[in-house]
Chains A and B, each alone.
Chain A
């Protein structure tokens, strides 16, 4: 009886692992195959990789899209970390009843679905376009600006600041460090793990963001990776090998982050529930 139970546990885990990995396997193998072979269900690596690379470069501006996505994700991450950690620190270190009320009001914004904000934001950036076209509709800046601050990230930093050794600050004050100096010279260097985890969360969600760029970006030169994949996927005569290659390239950065920074990745997930 116990043996049977053990076998079924391993059976379930093996089958589930195969199901989890199969789409990755399919994607990588298909990237090396001709379109016909992919649609006929070939599951062995082929020899068409270099042709697929050539065709991909010929049909879409994947280099430009990678660059756009990278610019957006890096800018968002740097600004988001700075703004949210300042706030998380402020709410916790300079705690007062009034600030706690403000904090709770900010948290309410997590309940607002993006679909409800999309139209007003689009109209807002339409107005901005008339005054300052460089940050208006169809610019990379317009993707970054509304996504810099999330209540989640402020919450994340506040939760982690609870464990920050506050004696460090008192000591700094004794040594005559200014309040802003305490933040930049003591808090930031001490909280490296928190920043790393927050950077991963923000980078991933910015890299993968789809709906807002779809709304606000129009010209092909501003296309991001998710927009490019989506338009490739919905083309009328799809070249499956080429599409799968594009997806492999799009998935690579986040997969590498996961494999090399797994510790911070999980810390980022857990940091929100401490």
Chain B
């Protein structure tokens, strides 16, 4: 009520007064709490982590060791395995998921398609699950004598069970499939809403010129969606490089260290093994460097295509 009344009085007043940002201290008061909290819980701990990464020792007995933690990284087989796994997950899962999500969004954007809402809801539904909950479900679905093996054998796709959980290769596949299942629909929604803003007449003109569906996809759809593809690929990159919940709950990092991720290794170093906070902090800077590195690369790739 109050706002509608205000609305009326504004219409009369706004003609006379143009809105100008007010100067002075008041604006800073609005942002003060956020600035303090972000400094306290992001920038200050980050600085602490940097200082810790130059120290080493068990628990609270830390000593300054210079760059020793960083040189140790390169000869630590567990770290190298975790780095390799994380990069593999990122390099395979992110493009795989984005291509699938693009494919679904183009299919569902077709005006003549029936049951559109039903398909969209079904494919999006995994995005409402908690990461831990769906991970536990996937752990059972893909256990060596689990339902996925039973179904694949009944369909005669495989003749003997795949050892999803005890084979290093298949364990990685399970993690990739799980993350893809969880996030494809989520990303699809972004593309779908972007596609709805693309003018249909562009496609009509392309068809008149004899462009195939493939050409339309690569010459029109992809360039039109470029900003949103960049946005989703960067958020997916940051997410995948920090992967923790899924390997922790599906495979526990195993078999061996075949699905161990960097985040999991940091957790193990800090809270599972004899705590070595200094070395754990050095490991965490590996993720920071990768996030910055891959984000810059993606920005560059997107920029160059223009």
- Most chain A CB within a 10 A radius of its CB, from B38, B44, B134, B186: B38
- Decide if A38 touches B130 in the complex (CB within 8 Å): no
Main secondary structure of the interface of B (DSSP, over half): helix
Contacting residue for B119 out of A13, A23, A154, CB 8 A: A13
Tell me the count of chain A residues lying within 8 A, CB to CB, of chain B: 96
Q: Known contacts A16-B104, A102-B31, A234-B252: does B21 contact A120 (CB below 8 Å)?
A: no
Question: B139's closest neighbor in chain A, by CB?
Answer: A233
- Contact count band on B: 35 or more
Per-residue B-contact encoding for A210-234, CB less than 8 Å = 1, 0 else:
1100110000000001100110111
A19 to chain B, nearest CB (A): 7
Q: Is A86 in contact with B21, judged by CB distance below 8 angstroms?
A: no
B-side contacts of A266, CB under 8 Å: 189, 193
| Chain A neighbourhood of B285, CB < 8 A | 116
A234's contact among B3, B125, B249, by CB below 8 Å, is which? B249
> Do B140 and A240 touch (CB < 8 A)?
yes
Q: How many A-B residue pairs have CB under 8 A?
A: 275
Q: How far is the CA of A165 from the CA of B277 in the complex (A)?
A: 50
Q: CB of B132 within 8 A of chain A?
A: yes
Q: 0/1 per residue, B177-188, Cβ < 8 Å to A?
A: 000010001100
**Contact partner of B263 among A86, A94, A115, CB < 8 A?**
A115
Contacts of A243 in B (CB 8 A): 136, 140
| Complex partner residue of B244 from A83, A115, A225, A229, CB under 8 angstroms | A115
Contacts of A91 in B (CB 8 A): 30-31
Residues of A within 8 A of B291 (CB): 111, 113
A116 near B46 (CB under 8 angstroms)? yes
- Does B150 belong to the interface (CB within 8 Å)? yes
In the bound complex, do residue A20 and residue B31 qualify as a contact, i.e. CB atoms below 8 Å apart?
Answer: no
Q: Is the CB of B136 within 8 A of A95?
A: no
23 residue pairs of the A-B complex, CB under 8 angstroms, read A9-B113, A13-B108, A17-B119, A19-B181, A23-B126, A39-B146, A41-B150, A87-B33, A113-B242, A115-B242, A115-B266, A116-B45, A170-B10, A171-B10, A171-B14, A211-B245, A230-B132, A233-B139, A233-B249, A234-B252, A247-B133, A251-B128, A269-B186
Q: A115-B244, A208-B130 are known; give 19 further A-B pairs, CB within 8 A.
A: A23-B134, A83-B37, A93-B21, A106-B35, A111-B295, A112-B288, A113-B238, A113-B288, A116-B46, A121-B41, A148-B37, A168-B3, A171-B14, A179-B22, A185-B2, A186-B3, A190-B3, A215-B271, A254-B129
